Amino acid sequence: MKIQNSKFKIQNFGKALLTSYFLLLTSYFLLSSCGYHMIGSTLMPFNSITIKQVQNKTYEPGLEEKLHNALSKEFINQGIEVQRAGGNVEIEATVINFELAAIGAVNDKIKEQSIIMRVHIKLVDQGKITEFKAMESPIKITFQSTGTVSESVTNKERAIEKACSEIAKEIVSRIILKYAK
């Protein structure tokens, strides 16, 4: 009796394995035939970039350094080497707009604010120029402006860094999509 029972289990296991393999293979062909594919830095024809000094056309101090750091970090995360000079591609960024907007107030006291920051980007690749105008964070960046002045300033600085990081991710995503076409 035990021999037949184990034989039955082996046959069922074999059928389940074959069915799983078939479903996996079918899924792969369906997804690949619909045009889905992974996009990453391997599709970019360059492996190094020079980020020129970021220009800040606003009255908010320190945006140029924060955006430069965010861009460097995001390119490194994508496997692209950031060089001071001589990179395969050069990128120029200009912060053109920075606004604080009140989004929450109680008794005429602002409790929460949002940051709106827009950046122009110019990518130079072997003399060919690509521009992305008025780029901003795809998500709304907010911060609490309650508490002491130093707490509010600290929250604002963190929010600015988050805005720069999100804009850098958006820039790198657009560059990847440009080269994926």
Of residues 177 and 16, the one with the higher pLDDT is 177
Q: Pick from 42, 57, 45, 70: which is nearest to 130 by CA? A: 45
Cβ–Cβ under 8 Å, residues 115 and 143:
yes
Say which residues have a Cβ less than 8 Å from residue 136's Cβ, sequence separation at least 6: 116, 117, 118, 119, 167, 170
On the question of pLDDT at 30 being above 90, the answer is no
Q: What is the tens place of the pLDDT at every residue in 134-172?
A: 999 888 999 888 878 888 889 999 999 999 999 999 999
Please report, for residues 4, 74, 106, 158, the alpha-carbon distance to residue 172 in angstroms, rounded to integers and kept in the order given: 61, 7, 39, 21
Model's pTM, two decimal places? 0.74
pLDDT of the residue at 14: 58
pLDDT value at residue 152: 85
More confident call, 121 vs 180: 121
